Structure 1
Amino acid sequence: MAEASRILQTTLIPTFSQNPSQYTIKTHPHFYSPPLTSKKISPFHRIRCSISTATETATKTSVPWGCDIDSVENASNLQKWLSECGLPPQKMGIQRVEVGERGLVALKNIRRGEKLLFVPPSLFITADSEWSRREAGEVLKKYNVPDWPLLATYLISEAGLMNSSRWSNYISALPRQPYSLLYWTRSELDGYLEASQIRVRAIERINDVTGTYNDLRDRIFSKYPDLFPEEVFNIESFKWSFGILFSRLVRLPSMGGRVALVPWADMLNHSCEVETFLDYDKSSQGVVFTTDRAYQPGEQVFISYGKKSNGELLLSYGFVPREGTNPRDSVELSLSLRKSDKCYNEKVEALQKHGLSTPQCFPLQITGWPVELMAYAYLAVSPPSMRSRFDETRWRVFRVNLKTISTQMAAAASNKTTSKKDIRYPEIDEEALQYVLDSCEASISKYSKFLQASAFRFKCASGSMDLDVTNPKLLNRKLFLKQLAVDLCTSERRILFRAQYSLLYLRLESFDQENSNLLTRNSENYFNTSETIKRYKKRRIEGSEDFRWFQKAIQVKNQLYIVWHCDTNGCLGKGEGPGRGLGDGGGGSGALSGFECPEQKHEK
C-alpha cells in the first residue's frame, strides 16, 4: 500500500520560527545547474487535494501534477530518464504489486548481501539543489528557511513549472495524493482513531503543516506574489508536498544524517521482516541498500522504513502492516495525576524536573515498557507522608530500583521468569500496579467499543469484514479508512491486553512463585482453569485479595487468548472456544466485564 523510503527519524516537522535569523542554511555545491528560465509560471486552477465524502463512492480530486498511486507508466518513464542521467542498469523494475500498489520487483536472481540501486548524488533532491526559478530559491535562503519547509516549497515550485522543470519526470511519477493522515478530516480522526494516541499526533502534524504554511505565506509569499502565486502555493499544495516528504524523505547516516529525496529508491516498499535500509555508499558514491535475503525473479524487493510502530507507519505512510508481523509495534498508554491529590502541585513540579507532564504517554511493547512508567505510577499514588521522595534524589532512586522491575515485567510479558530480586515500596506497590492496570482497562474499553461498533457497521455495509484494503479504489472511502483504523486498533488493543496480563503476573509472582508458574502454561487445557482454581483454593482463602488478583489474571489471559485467535484465525464467537470454563473465576470486571469477541475475520 505504501511506497516510500525510510522515514525521516522524527515525529514532528520543524516549525517555522517567528525569528528567521536563528536558522542557517548549509552551503554545498549544487548537484545540478539548469539554465535560467524567464518564462513566468502559468496560472493554475486552485488546487484541492482533500477527498470529498459527499457521495458514497470516493471522489478523487488532485493537484494538476503527478499520477495515480498505482501508475507504472509514469514510473517507467522516470526510470528511462534516470538512466539517461546516470543511473546504472538495475536488477529491479517497477511493477504493480499486491502489497503497495506499485513497487520494485526483481528482474534477475538477487543474492543475499548484494548491494542494489547505486543512485548517484546528482539525482538527489536536497536543500542545496538548484531551483529552476533561481529568484525564488534566493528569497527563501535570504529568510533562512529550514530544510523541511524549504524542500516542501521547492517541490511545489518545480511541480508548478511542469515540463520546464528538470524534475518533471520525477514529479509526474509521484502520487497526486500521498497516503497520509494529513488528508483525513477532523471528523474522521475523531470518529475512527478516538481510542488511539495516534489521533493526537495526527492533529499535531496537521496543525504543524498548517502553521508552517501560514508563516511562509505571511512572511514571504505575500511579499513576492510573482514568485509565489497563491494559485500554486496554498495549503492544499503544501499538504501534498509535506505528504511526499513524510513518506519519501531519506536520512542518510553516512552523509552526516543529511536528508534527501532519492528518485527510484523511494519506489521500494516496506516490510517488517527485513532490516536493510537506504544509505550512501562512499566507495560507489551512490545510495544503496544491502539485501538481507535472496529474491527470485518476479518477487517484490523490500527495505525497512525504520523501527516504527503500526501507528507511526499509518501516520506517515497511510498503511498498517498485517497483524502480528511488526515486532516493533507499540501502543501509547496515557497516565495522569488526579487533580484531587493533596500533593498535586508538588508532584507536577517533580515530573517537570524530569521532562514529564500530566498527562504523560508511555510506549507499551510486547516485551515491556519504559522504567519511567512505573516510576510515574509510584509518584501518582504516593501519599502525603512520602513528600520527601518527590525530590530529585528520591526520583533517581526510584529509577535505579525500577530497572529490576522493568526486567521482571519484560520477562512476564514474554512468559519467562527471572531470579532477580527487586526493591519495592510495599506500602504503595499494589496501588501503583492497580493504577497502571486501571489505565490499561480504561484504554481497552475505548478500543473494544470502537471495534465492536465497527464490526457491526462493516457487516451491515459490506456483508463481510474480509475487505481488500490493498486497493482503496475498490472501496468506499469511509470503509477504507475505517478498515485501516480497525487494523490499527486491533493491534494496539492486543498489546494493552498483554500489558494488563503482565501487571497481574508481576503481582502474583511477588507472593506466590508456584502460582505464577501456573500462568505460563501454554496448552489449551490450561484455559479450562476450574482444576487450577480448586488447587489454588486449598492454599488460599477464597475471597482474599490475593485470590481476587489470581482470578483476574486468569480472566485476562483468557481474554488475551480469545483476542489473539480472533485476530489471526477468525472469530471464535461469543461464548465459544477456550475462553469459557472459568468456573468461579468467570465474569470479569472493569473493561473485561461483558467483553464480546468482535465477529470478524482478518485475512488481508
Structure 2
Amino acid sequence: MTTTKLQEWLEDGGVKDLNWLQLEEFPDTGRGVKTLRPLKLNDVILTIPGSYLWTVDAAFDDPILGPAIRSIKQPLSVEDTLAVFLLFIKTREEGYEGRRAHVNLLPSSYTTSVFFNDSELEVCSGSSLYHLTKQLKQQIKEDYLRLVNDLFSKHSDLFPLEKFTLDEYMWTICTIWSRGMDFQLPGKQFRCIAPFADMLNHSPEVQLCHIYDPQLNNLQIFAGKDYAIGEQVFINYGSVPNNRLLRLYGFILPNNPYDSYDLVLTTHPLAPLYAQKVAMLKSADLQVNETFPLKLTDPLPLDVLRYLRIQRLSSSEISTAEAKRGASNIVSARNEAEILNALIDAIEGLLAGFGTPLEELEAKVDSGVYQKGDNIWAAALVSVGEQRILKLTLQKARELLALVVCAQCGKANEDNKRCGRCRKVVYCGTACQKSHYKEHKVICKKDVTEGQQQ
C-alpha cells in the first residue's frame, strides 16, 4: 500500500514508467529494485522532478517547517536541515501524504558502524573506521543536544521531544548518509534524497549513472549497464573503500579494489624552518595538514614522499629542494634516509595499533568463525583491507630505503652504488659489498632468477 502511494505521488509529478520498476528482496543486498523489462546501457530509468526531492530549499520552503528553522541564529548544517525535515515529516499525522509514504518505505534500522556494539566495533580497533565511528557517535550526541537547545525546545509544538529523540535523530542521520546523493554544482555542493531512486543499491560493476540537472531541476537515473528482465538495477556510488561503505551505508564489498587507508601528515608550527617549509609545501600544491589515501594500487604515493622531504629539510638543503620544485625527486641521501626511516617507524606503529593482527583476522574470516554478513565479519574485513594496504606501504618504504642506505653499514652516502646483479640494494664501497656478500648472495640470486622469469 505504501509503495502504491509513493508511486501515485511521483506519477502525479510526471514520473513515468514506475510500473516496470519493482521493489524486491534480494538474497545478497536485501531490498532493491528490479526491472520488468530489458534495459540497454544509458537508457533513462527514472526522472525525478526537483520539487519531489528532499533538499535544504524544500525544507526552507515548507510553510510550517521553514519559519522554525529560519528562526535559528546559528544556521543548521545541510545534514541537520535534512535530518529535521525527514523527522518532521515522519512525525506528522496528516498532510504530506507523498513524503510520508516515502518515509514509511525507509528501513526501520541500519547497519552502519555507529550502531555496532562495543564488542563488534572492537574487532576493527586500530582502523580508521574504529576511530571515526567513536568520533561520530560523540558528534551525533552533541549535534542532537544542540538541536534540542536551539530548535526543538523553542518550538515544542512542532518538535515534541518524545518523538524527536536521540535514537530517532540517529536513524535520520543514517538515512541521509546511506541515501543522500551529492553533486558538485557551480559554486556549491548539492545534496538531496530522491524518492524511489534511493532504493537502488550500489555496485562498482556499473557505470556512474545518476545526474542532477540544475537547469531542468531534475534528477535522472540511467542504466549503468545492460539488464535482462528480472535483474536488479544498480547505481554506482563511486570508488568507495570498505571503511566508508560500512560507516555511511552499512555494508562492505569483499576484496574491495577501492580499499584505502587515509594517512594524515602535519607539520607543527614550532618545527624548524616552519615558514619556509609551509611556503614550499604550498608551491608544491600541498597543505600543511594533508590527508593522503594509500591504496592497493598505489600504497605509497609520490606526494607522501614529497611532503616528507620538505618537512624534514635541513637549512642547507632548502635551496636544493627549491631547485627541484618541491622535492619531487630525492633531495639528498640524508634527507631520503630520514624520511623513509620515519615513515617505516610510523607504519609499524600503526600496524601494531590494530587490536587483531591481519593473519588472525584472515584465518577467522576464512574458517567461518566470523559469519558472512554479520557486523563482526564486516568490521573484520575493513581491518583486513586497511592492514593489507599498510603492509604494502611498509614493504615499499623498505624497498626504497634499501636503495638509499648501505646494506652493510647503513650509511646514506650520495655516491652509494647499487648491487650490479639484483639492483635492489646499495653499498658505500667494495669493502661493505664484500662483507655483506655472504648474507646477500642467496637473496640476490633469487631476485635475479625471478627477474629473468618475468
Under TM normalisation by the shorter chain, which class is it? 0.7 to 0.9
SS in 2 for 1:252: strand
Mean Cα deviation higher: 199-208 or 346-355: 346-355
Which residue of the partner structure matches residue 494 of structure 1? 388
Distance 2:294 2:379 in 1: 19
Distance 1:380 1:254 in 2: 35
Which residue of the partner structure matches residue 167 of structure 2? 236
Which residue of the partner structure matches residue 49 of structure 2? 120
Q: Which residue of 294, 299, 305 corresponds with 2:231?
A: 299
Which residue of the partner structure matches residue 438 of structure 1? 345
Q: Deviations over 1:540-599 (max 9, x none)?
A: 546479949968x98xx9xxxxxxxxxxxxxxxxxxxxxxxxxxxxxxxxxxxxxxxxxx
Structure 1 residue 138 corresponds to structure 2 residue 64: no
Q: Deviations over 1:47-91 (max 9, x none)?
A: xxxxxxxxxxxxxxxxxxxxxxxxxx7546533543344321144
Q: Which residue of 284, 292, 299 corresponds with 1:362?
A: 292
Contact residue 347 and residue 379 of structure 1 kept, 8 A = no
Q: After TM superposition, give the deviation of residue 483 of structure 1 in Å.
A: 0.5
| Structure 1 pair 186–215 and aligned structure 2 pair: CA distance change class (3 A) | farther
Which residue of the partner structure matches residue 178 of structure 1? 110
Alignment of 1:339-418 (within 5 A): 345-346=271-272, 355-356=287-288, 362-368=292-298, 369-378=300-309, 386-387=314-315, 400-402=326-328
SS in 2 for 1:195: coil
Distance 2:355 2:441 in 1: 24
Which residue of the partner structure matches residue 223 of structure 1? 154
Higher strand share: 2
* 2:228 maps to amino acid: Q
| Structure 1 pair 387–100 and aligned structure 2 pair: CA distance change class (3 A) | same
Q: After TM superposition, give the deviation of residue 398 of structure 1 in Å.
A: 7.1
Distance 1:277 1:178 in 2: 25
Distance 1:184 1:349 in 2: 44
Distance 1:437 1:319 in 2: 32
SS in 2 for 1:434: helix
Q: After TM superposition, give the deviation of residue 447 of structure 1 in Å.
A: 4.4
Identity of aligned residues (%): 21
Q: After TM superposition, give the deviation of residue 97 of structure 1 in Å.
A: 1.5
Q: After TM superposition, give the deviation of residue 170 of structure 1 in Å.
A: 0.3
Which residue of the partner structure matches residue 31 of structure 2? 102
Structure 1 residue 263 corresponds to structure 2 residue 167: no
Contact residue 377 and residue 435 of structure 1 kept, 8 A = no
Contiguous gaps of at least 5 residues in structure 2: 282-286, 405-416, 426-431
Alignment of 1:446-595 (within 5 A): 446-447=353-354, 449-452=356-359, 454=361, 464-465=368-369, 467-469=371-373, 480-508=374-402, 511-512=417-418, 540-541=433-434, 543=436, 547=440
Which residue of the partner structure matches residue 82 of structure 1? 10
Q: After TM superposition, give the deviation of residue 424 of structure 1 in Å.
A: 3.2
Q: Deviations over 1:476-512 (max 9, x none)?
A: xxxx221011111112222222222322343456654
| Structure 1 pair 505–125 and aligned structure 2 pair: CA distance change class (3 A) | same
Q: Deviations over 1:421-465 (max 9, x none)?
A: x44311232232222223223333444834455567779xxx734
SS in 1 for 2:142: helix
Which residue of the partner structure matches residue 333 of structure 2? 426
Contact residue 454 and residue 486 of structure 1 kept, 8 A = yes
Distance 2:127 2:13 in 1: 45
Contact residue 120 and residue 285 of structure 1 kept, 8 A = yes
| Structure 1 pair 449–251 and aligned structure 2 pair: CA distance change class (3 A) | closer
Distance 2:441 2:294 in 1: 25
| Structure 1 pair 223–336 and aligned structure 2 pair: CA distance change class (3 A) | closer
Q: After TM superposition, give the deviation of residue 241 of structure 1 in Å.
A: 0.9
Alignment of 1:280-299 (within 5 A): 280-281=212-213, 286-299=218-231
Q: After TM superposition, give the deviation of residue 242 of structure 1 in Å.
A: 0.7
Q: After TM superposition, give the deviation of residue 319 of structure 1 in Å.
A: 1.3
Contiguous gaps of at least 5 residues in structure 1: 1-72, 403-421, 470-479, 520-538, 558-604
Q: After TM superposition, give the deviation of residue 335 of structure 1 in Å.
A: 5.9
Q: Deviations over 1:149-193 (max 9, x none)?
A: 11111111110114543311101100111232222345643x122
Which residue of the partner structure matches residue 411 of structure 2? none
| Structure 1 pair 230–197 and aligned structure 2 pair: CA distance change class (3 A) | same
| Structure 1 pair 517–109 and aligned structure 2 pair: CA distance change class (3 A) | farther
| Structure 1 pair 334–128 and aligned structure 2 pair: CA distance change class (3 A) | closer
| Structure 1 pair 433–216 and aligned structure 2 pair: CA distance change class (3 A) | same
Which residue of the partner structure matches residue 183 of structure 2? 252
Contact residue 119 and residue 287 of structure 1 kept, 8 A = yes
| Structure 1 pair 423–431 and aligned structure 2 pair: CA distance change class (3 A) | closer
Distance 2:4 2:325 in 1: 55
The count of corresponding residues between Structure 1 and Structure 2 is 418
Distance 2:355 2:144 in 1: 38
SS in 2 for 1:96: strand
SS in 2 for 1:230: coil
Distance 2:398 2:233 in 1: 42
Which residue of the partner structure matches residue 204 of structure 2? 272
Please give the TM-score of this superposition, normalised by the length of structure 2: 0.78
* 2:55 maps to amino acid: T
* 1:442 maps to amino acid: G
Contact residue 109 and residue 171 of structure 2 kept, 8 A = yes
Which residue of the partner structure matches residue 91 of structure 2? 160
Please give the TM-score of this superposition, normalised by the length of structure 1: 0.60
Q: Deviations over 1:280-310 (max 9, x none)?
A: 2478763113334211112222211123222
* 1:366 maps to amino acid: L
Contact residue 179 and residue 243 of structure 1 kept, 8 A = no
| Structure 1 pair 108–283 and aligned structure 2 pair: CA distance change class (3 A) | farther
Mean Cα deviation higher: 371-380 or 162-171: 371-380
| Structure 1 pair 455–145 and aligned structure 2 pair: CA distance change class (3 A) | closer
Distance 1:163 1:513 in 2: 80
Contact residue 46 and residue 222 of structure 2 kept, 8 A = no
Which residue of the partner structure matches residue 28 of structure 1? none
SS in 2 for 1:193: coil
Q: Which residue of 127, 130, 152 corresponds with 1:196?
A: 127
Distance 2:262 2:442 in 1: 25
SS in 2 for 1:400: coil
Contact residue 181 and residue 192 of structure 2 kept, 8 A = yes
Which residue of the partner structure matches residue 213 of structure 1? 144
Which residue of the partner structure matches residue 3 of structure 1? none
